[in-house]
Structure 1
Amino acid sequence: MPIRAVVYTSEAAADIAASRLGQTGGKLCEIVDDAARFNRNAGVTGVLLFDGERFVQYMEGPDDGLLVAYSRVLGASSHCGVIELQRGRVGQRRLPFWPMRWLPVEPTELRRVAGADWTGFVQREGAGASATATGMDLLRALVEPYAAAL
């Protein structure tokens, strides 16, 4: 079954941005827990980066599951100003670790990921910190420390 992916950036709603970054049990945790429950059944995996004001989210899975999960994202009141950075087919899952998880990142890291080249979800081995790193390289470098703890 082909795996498809989508990555976007958006602005957090005021009630999400007003809550303390990293707060467990807050509104963002509730939203991500709900998404994880849905995604598990839909076969979707992904990660949500949050800098306290903005999001970058990467999701992947089978076409039908991803389509429904992404439509839920687009209808959510937890954010606004969604800008799709890339959507398309990926040869294999890149982030199979979680049905959904949010990770805190610095604003400079989030801007760098959002502004990177996402064309074709290209990933180069060992390019995570280089000047030519793709969006997938940068995302992978941010996620790996959390995935290694599994």
Structure 2
Amino acid sequence: MCSMPLCSIAYSSRTAEGLTVDQIDALVRDASHHNRLAGVTGVLLCDGIRFLQYLEGPEDGIEFIFARVMNSRRHSDVVVLGRGEGSVRRFPYWSMHWIPVSQHELHAAAVADWTMLKAHRSEEQVVVLGVEQLAVLAAPHLRDESLPR
């Protein structure tokens, strides 16, 4: 997947029909436990219909956690938006945290540029990166939720 010590992956999926907030809370608590063991951090956006999740950590941890993601019955239609590598975590404070967002916010993050998970600029235009969209959506939650879960 990647050759650097820190890998990342972003994907979107469709939530299981009838999935409740309490069920999402339970899913996140379970994911947080497994992520801590694997050295993975990340954030999950949900608009009630779709998920968008970003995970970062060591390659073996990402592979283990993403295999769990792919086997989950709490969602379907998984689409990998991007994979990357780097040396700095973008969400080091959360082993997993979910943020309720509007359909518009989730869509804007999903259609942003995920081809590179590192910041880049085109000479002709500023490229809106998916990870930058996530950072904007997560920022209001950092004041209250800055401790690892």
Range class of TM-score, shorter chain: 0.7 to 0.9
Q: TM-score under structure 2 normalisation? A: 0.87
| Corresponding position of 2:67 | 71
Measured after TM superposition, the shift of residue 81 of structure 1 is 0.1
- Render the CA deviation track for 1:5-27: whole Å, top value 9, x for unaligned: 000000000131xx3xxx4xx11
Alignment of 1:93-112 (within 5 A): 93-112=89-108
Q: What's the CA shift for 1:118? A: 1.2
Q: Is residue 52 of structure 2 the alignment partner of residue 49 of structure 1?
A: no
Alpha-carbon shift at residue 109 of structure 1 (Å): 0.4
Percent of residue pairs bearing the same amino acid type? 40
Task: Choose from 113, 119, 131 the match for 1:136.
Answer: 131
CA deviations over 1:76-108 (Å, ceiling 9, x no partner): 000000000011212311111110111000100
Please report how far the alpha carbon of residue 68 of structure 1 lies from its aligned counterpart in structure 2 after TM superposition: 0.2
After superposing on structure 2, the runs of 4+ consecutive aligned residues of structure 1 that deviate more than 2 Å are none
Counterpart Cα distance in 2 of 1:44 and 1:31: 15
How far is the alpha carbon of 1:122 from its aligned partner?
2.5
TM-score by length of 1: 0.86
The answer to whether the 8 Å contact 2:84/2:118 transfers is no
Q: CA RMSD in A?
A: 1.7
Matched-pair contact (CA < 8 Å) for 1:49–1:102? yes
What does residue 9 of structure 1 align with? 12
| Cα distance in 1, alignment partners of residues 127 and 8 from structure 2 | 22
Runs of 5+ unmatched residues, structure 2:
121-125
Q: Match of 1:46, SS?
A: strand
**Structure 1 stretches lacking a partner, 5+ long:** 125-130
Instruction: Determine whether 1:118 maps to 2:121.
Output: no
Aligned length in residues? 138
Q: Give the alignment partner of residue 82 of structure 2, picking from 81, 86, 106.
A: 86
Q: Name 1:148's counterpart in structure 2.
A: 143
